[in-house]
Structure 1
Amino acid sequence: MPRDDMNPPVIHRIARQARLTFRGLGSADAGKGFSENLAQLKKLVSEIRAEDLKIKPRKNSAAPPISVPHNPPVTYMHICETESFSMGVFLLKGGTSIPLHDHPGMHGMLKVLYGKVRIMGFDKMEAVPPSELPPLLQPYQRSSVFRAMLRSSGEYGDSSPPCLLSPHRDNLHQISAVDGPAAFLDILAPPYDPDDGRDCHYYKLLPGSTEHTNTGEGDGHQQAAADGVHPREVWLLEIPQPDDFWCGGEPYPGPKVTM
């Protein structure tokens, strides 16, 4: 990004702030000023709009059948990536979801650009003794089951504040398009890197872990799992990537961001 640009596009300012916020995560002095920098990043991300990225809302379209691999239910526009963070845009067709998945050791920030999404956030809990595992598990599943807390559930639109996740709070989540297509800006820090222990894993709720989501008009405020509406604890089973989910790519049309 040019150093003499006195009025850079908001996506440039977001990238600069993300680099400042997440630089040196995991080092001894990484926590210095982190909260203040994160608050500034959240403020900038709150300002972003679809038109700032030259993205136009898509028409309502249903998810394609699994037999049509060239027409994925979810696509991703890559904006930029450094060692400390990655940034891009996910576009969901109507009726589709990014399945329940995790972000090991990662921070994240999500801002809806158009449409509406429902986000369910879970926290992984401490391991439980084998004697306390749920019944009816296959032997090979016993090492892939764990307790989690349904921490939050809410609907987000383009006027909602960003949704945040941290390594220990709302780190597992599912994102579903509501009432048509949706798109959101996504920042992850540090980026996924299987070689460094940050691979994406998928999960499903086991029977008996009844999910309940907020179906009212969303204002972006997360509903606490402890409010009596949501179960506080659930059983999750790690699974392969679901057959009905895959993510394609498409060009990013907005201002170029270089780091």
Structure 2
Amino acid sequence: MPRNNKTSLIQKIASQACLTFKNCTSPVFGDNKVFLDQQAQLVTLLSEIRAADLKIAPPKKVCVSSHQSSAVPPVTYMHICETDVFSMGVFLLKSGASIPLHDHPGMNGMLKVLYGKVNIRCYDKLDKADGSESENERQFEPPLMPFQGDDVRRATLRSSGQYSDQSGPCILTPLKDNLHEIDAVDGPAAFLDILAPPYDPDDDRDCHYYKVLQTAEKKSEQSDDNETWLLEIPQPDDFWCGGEPYPGPKVSV
């Protein structure tokens, strides 16, 4: 089906993202039929987007010295647009690069690979409700005694898989798949990223990084084989994100 030349696909995606997330103010909103219908339309549009639509392409192979490569950011970001409702841009990962395990507090998100392949591992936090602790939780002790308090979080591995430009988008919600790590597989990769609402440290939406301590041993029939402990850590020294200009169609929101 030919595309409407008057409106770029990325503009349609931005407009639909605004409609989808403009009234999304709580985690339970994800059960709302209107929201789910709008989200489905956004997924359909995202599934169509390709790198050429944004005028980007995989980088050509270049030979650089180890001194030069140490100064090159492993990940760069192309900013497309941001409003109070959502932010949208493109992350570009160099071959072998990773975005460490991190969270998106109170945020929805969608990730669509544009070129290359990435492996994405998603986790859910298993925070205690109302300060209570079940018998099963009391049996499940942190693996390393020096790590205590809020720095250590109980979690479960929800999903792990590879995504390419032929895959549909990876979707996260405030409660499901909210923490994830992303690794470039067999070369460089790029993906379109939508977060709603955007990160905002002043509104308790700051990015936190985590390290997997170890997977829990199954202690009872109620335990999950994928349960683990995550340690909150500073941003890893070997990860930083540079910026580069977005070359694609202009987006107005």
Which TM bucket (shorter chain)? 0.7 to 0.9
Aligned pair in 2 of structure 1 residues 254, 25: CA closer, same or farther (>3 Å)? Answer: same
Residue type matched to 1:22 in 2? F
- Give the deviation of 1:138 after TM superposition: 1.4
Tell me if the contact between 1:125 and 1:146 (Cα under 8 Å) persists in the aligned partners.
yes
> For residue 103 of structure 2, what is the aligned residue in structure 1?
102
Q: Deviations over 1:223-256 (max 9, x none)?
A: xxxxxxx942111000000000000100000001
For residues 19 and 180 of structure 2, what CA distance do their matches in structure 1 show?
Answer: 26
Displacement after TM superposition at 1:132 (Å): 4.5
Aligned to 1:133: 141
2: CA distance between counterparts of 1:6 and 1:83? 28
Q: Which runs of 5+ in 1 are unaligned?
A: 211-229
Matched, 1:53 2:47: no
**Displacement, 1:130?**
7.6
| TM-score (normalised: structure 1) | 0.82
Shift in CA distance, 130/61, structure 1 to aligned 2, threshold 3 Å: farther
- Could you tell me whether the CA contact under 8 Å between 2:54 and 2:248 is conserved in 1? yes
3-state SS, counterpart of residue 121 of structure 2: strand
Q: In 2, are the aligned partners of 1:62 and 1:93 still within 8 Å (CA)?
A: no
The equivalent residue for 2:124 is: 123
* Equivalence map 1:168-207=2 (5 Å): 168-207=175-214
RMSD of aligned C-alpha atoms?
2.7
- 1:89 aligns to 2:90 (yes or no): yes
Q: Shift in Å at residue 25 of structure 1?
A: 1.9
Matched residues in 2 for 1:113 and 1:87: separation? 14
Map 1:235-246 onto structure 2 (within 5 A). Answer: 235-246=229-240
1:216 alignment counterpart: none
Identity of aligned residues (%): 62
**TM-score under structure 2 length normalisation:** 0.84
How many residues end up aligned between the 2 structures? 234
Residue 20 of structure 2 corresponds to: 21
Q: Equivalent residue for 1:74?
A: 75
SS at match of 1:21: helix
What's the offset of the Cα at 1:62? 9.6
Instruction: Give the Cα separation in 1 of the matches to 2:64 and 2:239.
Output: 10
What SS class does the counterpart of residue 138 from structure 1 fall into?
coil
**What whole-Å deviation, never above 9, does each CA across 1:135-192 have from its counterpart, x for those lacking one?**
43315x4331111010000000000001000000000000000000000000000000
Tell me, which stretches of 5 or more residues in structure 2 are unaligned?
218-223
Which amino acid letter does the alignment assign opposite residue 184 of structure 1?
F
Aligned to 2:221: none
Structure 1 position 69, deviation (Å) = 6.9
Of the structure 1 ranges 13-22 and 125-134, higher mean CA displacement relative to structure 2 is found in 125-134
How far apart, in 1, do the equivalents of 2:116 and 2:68 lie?
26
Q: Distance in 1 between matches of 2:65 and 2:181?
A: 20
Q: CA–CA distance in 1 between the matches of 2:82 and 2:199?
A: 10
Q: 2:174 maps to what in 1?
A: 167
Is the contact made by 1:84 and 1:190 (CA closer than 8 Å) also made in structure 2?
A: yes
Q: Paired residue for 1:223?
A: none
Q: Is the 8 A contact 2:143 2:214 kept in 1?
A: no
CA gap of 1:24–1:126, structure 2 versus 1, over 3 A, is same
Q: Distance in 2 between matches of 1:18 and 1:64?
A: 42
Determine the C-alpha separation between the residues in 1 that align with 2:67 and 2:196: 31
After superposition, what is the alpha-carbon deviation per residue over 1:73-98, rounded to whole angstroms, capped at 9, x for unaligned?
00000000010000000000011100
